[in-house]
Amino acid sequence: MSHVDTPLEHDDRMEFQLERLILFTDAVFAIAITLLVIEIKVPELHHVQSERAVMIATLNLLPKFIGFLVAFFVIAIYWTAHHRVFRFVHRYTTGLIWLNIVFLLSIVLMPFTAAFQGDYPTMKTPWILYACCVIFTGLMQVRLQVYIRNPARGLTLRHHSTHPDLDPFRPLISVLIFSLSLVLSAVGFILAAKFTLLLIWPFMVLYNRYRYRPLLRAYEQRFGVAA
């Protein structure tokens, strides 16, 4: 820990400063994903404390539990996306910090919107709210990737800007699916709106085959390295 007054700027702390931004993000993700469960309240049995009553109360938690599972994996998917994207980031700017904070805003809201739709599984409004929240997260993910891959900003090594893992079309898939789900819910097909989420898998398969792999091949041919 030298105190020699060499004129080195805070660039020497760049790496830790960036790690701090990322670990703060991870802490917010970890808390949001763990708080999901405190919205599943232990059932209270005021009148009859029979084995049968407990079992029925447990089964009644099922819609809440399914809502919890969906929300858990939605947050997990965005965490893995953040983890995948930020491995290219070597520098930060004030702009990146604030884009990341607005991205986190949408994550922080999820324990509320997820619990709301878990409490009213047959209602439109909570699902619309939840879908809006996920769409907002997806759009912020797109915005982050467009910002990070922009070679003019110099946040990544220059050739990384064409890496398929920074392709902003991937986060658009969940934006598309949740928008479709939102519309279906708004016109009254609530069950269909929820099953729409299952479309994410085939869309991801199509995306991987017809966009990700060609991009990766192009990237590898140009830079001669296995990603």
Interface of this chain with its own copies, residues 83 to 122, rule: CB under 8 A: 83, 87-88, 90-91, 94, 97-98, 101, 104-105, 108-109, 111-112, 115-116, 119-120
Q: Is 197 an interacting residue with respect to its own copies (CB under 8 A)?
A: no
Q: Is 202 an interacting residue with respect to its own copies (CB under 8 A)?
A: no
In this chain, which of 63, 99, 129, 207 binds its own copies, going by CB under 8 A? 129
Stretch that binds its own copies, among 75-83, 142-150, 175-183, 200-208 (CB under 8 A): 75-83
Comparing CB distances to its own copies, the nearer of 1 and 198 is 1
Q: Is 227 an interacting residue with respect to its own copies (CB under 8 A)?
A: yes
Q: Is 49 an interacting residue with respect to its own copies (CB under 8 A)?
A: yes
Q: Is 195 an interacting residue with respect to its own copies (CB under 8 A)?
A: no
Distance CA 114, CA 132 (A): 11
Q: Is 186 an interacting residue with respect to its own copies (CB under 8 A)?
A: no
Stretch that binds its own copies, among 68-76, 136-144, 172-180, 207-215 (CB under 8 A): 68-76
In this chain, which of 96, 103, 124, 170 binds its own copies, going by CB under 8 A? 124
Length of the chain: 227
Considering the complex, what minimum distance in angstroms separates the CB of residue 58 from its own copies?
A: 5
- Give the per-residue SS3 of the chain: CCCCCCCCCHHHHHHHHHHHHHHHHHHHHHHHHHHHHHHCCCCCCCCCCCHHHHHHHHHHCHHHHHHHHHHHHHHHHHHHHHHHHHHHCCCCCHHHHHHHHHHHHHHHHHHHHHHHHHHCCCCHHHHHHHHHHHHHHHHHHHHHHHHHHCHHHCCCCHHHHHCHHHCCHHHHHHHHHHHHHHHHHHCCCHHHHHHHHHHHHHHHHHHHHHHHHHHHHHHHHHHCCCC
Stretch that binds its own copies, among 18-26, 135-143, 175-183, 195-203 (CB under 8 A): 18-26
Stretch that binds its own copies, among 7-15, 170-178, 196-204, 207-215 (CB under 8 A): 7-15
Q: Is 48 an interacting residue with respect to its own copies (CB under 8 A)?
A: no
Distance CA 51, CA 202 (A): 42
